[in-house]
Structure 1
Amino acid sequence: MRPLIRNEWFVRVAAPLLVGALVLAVWQLACQTYEVPAYLFPTPTDIAAKLASDLPGLLGALWSTLKVTFMAFAIAVIAGTALAFLFTQSRIIEFSLLPYAVILQVTPIAAVAPLIIILVKDTTAALTICAAVIAIFPIISNTTIGLKSVDPSLANYFRMNKAGRLQTLVRLRIPSALPFFLAGLRISSGLALIGAVVAEFVAGTGGRSAGLAYEILQSSFQLDIPRMFAALFLITATGVILFLAMAGLSNLLLGHWHESALKVEQ
């Protein structure tokens, strides 16, 4: 057991960190060897120094982006789950509304965002709607599939025992849909962050509500490329943290009973 645990820790944690350290080392060495100016392509040390010096301002921008991300994610989870339950209870509702959900998913948010920003006067609300539009479809799709993916023998067993629709939903369909729903959360959390950043780019927000996208735009205009990379690093790190948080939630809820989270010894 101990060698297995150690090997798993190495594969999950140490190996990715070693690859990242190697990439950073090659990046640093290449920029120093070819004397690449920082305003063209900064070294990792330039980015780290800028991140340390401008951290308060960048963290303020990160908080503005996170507020939009969290609100959009919450809206996507609540609305997407409610729609998925409606779809499984009524095929008429599913056939009537699902095509519009697909249309929202395939329409580029950069094309829709200006209209939303014009119609919605409040900037934060407009950015939240844009991000929610991107994040909602994985919740709808995954949860709907999960609610329908029940074992036929178990469904027949519930019918034989004359279980009502509510009992079947609570005791059969929801547990069956939980892994699909949690997979949708992992996708949707990242999409909410992407949607918030893209909406900020389109809106070009500034002032107190300026997010990381605004910092990236300003840094590029001022040729402060290390600051731009520092903002990009914060966006990337936030996305990774959101994914790990959703993965941790999935392991917490599924780790003791579902095949996708059980650790199999080989």
Structure 2
Amino acid sequence: MKRHLTTLLSTVILFMLLLLLWGALIRLLHIPSYLLPSPVQVGTAALHRFPSLMISLGMTATAAAGGLIASIVVGVLVALVFAQSRWVRRMFYPYTILLQTVPIVAIAPLILMWIGPGIFSVGLVAFIICLAPIIANTTQGLIGVDRNLIDLFLMNNASRAQILLKLRLPHALPSLFTGIRISSGIAVIGAITGELFAGSARVGVGGIGYAIQYANSQLETDYLFALVAAATVLGFAFFFAVMFLEWYFLHNWHESARTAEME
């Protein structure tokens, strides 16, 4: 507990020093507020627009969480299929890499045209951008089981389903959580990217991406920085939630979680 408190205190102190450095540079270099507002101005803008900021944050969080959860479900199912057949894996696995190579900004306008604006379109963009890391890491975890362990199961007349459920899936959990950690951060990016193109189903109400466009058009730089800070906090919240779930499911039996606790 003492180690965690020390880490938290160090992080807070570093954050406060960065804020002080930010304000000092603005005063020393005489940077106008419309180019770079001070931390006080950003905080004031966030307080003045707090209700709308929370609405935007909630909409983006909903779309990002929906896309992330859907990508976990679909990604695990696809990885299970890939792990059962080398032929299927060789035929279709390269197409999952295609999801990472195609720019999401090229896909988002198509989704808007096909489905229309709204939270479903935004969640679909987040789903697409999150899917590839889940499939890649889970597949690697499922097929990376030691052959000696598989032979041991076969010697005890284990069925294909028993090998999958009792050996491959537990072995793949750390890899799955690695993929989820990667996707948890980019889920927020995907949702905001979708909002930049899909906008909102209602005029004047939208997520962080929609609010960023509005603040930029009105030259509200202080509120723009507040929105960026809110998006950063949301990304951290997703990441640490996944880290907690990883610790919860693995710390009693997997070596990686125990090693992290000892460090």
Q: 1:111 to 1:182 in 2, by over 3 A?
A: same
Structure 2 gaps, min length 5:
none
Identify the residue that residue 90 of structure 1 maps to in structure 2. 85
**Aligned residue identity for 2:2:** R
Q: CA 1:209/1:71 → structure 2, altered by over 3 Å: closer, same or farther?
A: farther
- SS of 2:44's partner is helix
1:154 matched to 2:154? The reply is: no
**Residue 124 (structure 1) aligns with:** 119
Identify the match of residue 134 of structure 2 among 135, 139, 143. Answer: 139
Amino acid of the residue matched to residue 81 of structure 1?
V
Give the AA of the match of 2:223: R
Residue 243 of structure 2 is matched in structure 1 by 247
Aligned partners of 1:132 and 1:60: how far apart in 2? Answer: 21
**CA contact 2:117–2:198 (8 Å) conserved in 1:** no
Corresponding position of 1:174: 169
Q: Could you report, residue by residue, the CA deviation over 1:105-160 in whole angstroms, capped at 9, with x for unpaired residues?
A: 11001011111211113532222221111001111011101111212221111111
Distance 1:122 1:203 in 2: 5
What residue number does 2:252 align with? 256
2:218 counterpart of 1:231: no
Instruction: Give the CA deviation at 1:36.
Output: 2.1
State the Cα distance separating 1:208 from its structure 2 match. 5.5
**Match 1:31 to one of 10, 18, 26:** 26
Structure 1 match to 2:217: 221
Conserved 8 A contact 1:64-1:209: no
CA offsets 1:186-243 (integer angstroms, 9 cap, x no match): 1112111110101111234462551111111111111110000001111000000110
Q: Work out the CA distance in 1 between the residues paired with 2:118 and 2:47.
A: 30
- Distance in 1 between residues matched to 2:115 and 2:122, nearest whole Å: 9
- Looking at structure 1, the residues matched to 146 and 87 of structure 2 have their Cα atoms a distance apart, in angstroms, of 23
- Pairwise CA RMSD of aligned residues? 1.7
CA distance in 2, matches of 1:209, 1:154: 55
Using the size of structure 1 for normalisation, the TM-score is 0.92
CA distance in structure 1 between the aligned counterparts of 2:228 and 2:170, rounded to whole angstroms: 38
Partner of 2:54: 59
What is the rounded CA distance, in whole Å, between the counterparts of 1:136 and 1:77 in structure 2?
A: 7
The percent of aligned pairs where both chains have the same amino acid is 33
Q: How many correspondences in the alignment?
A: 261
**Which residue pairs with 2:70 in the alignment?**
75
TM-score under structure 2 length normalisation: 0.93
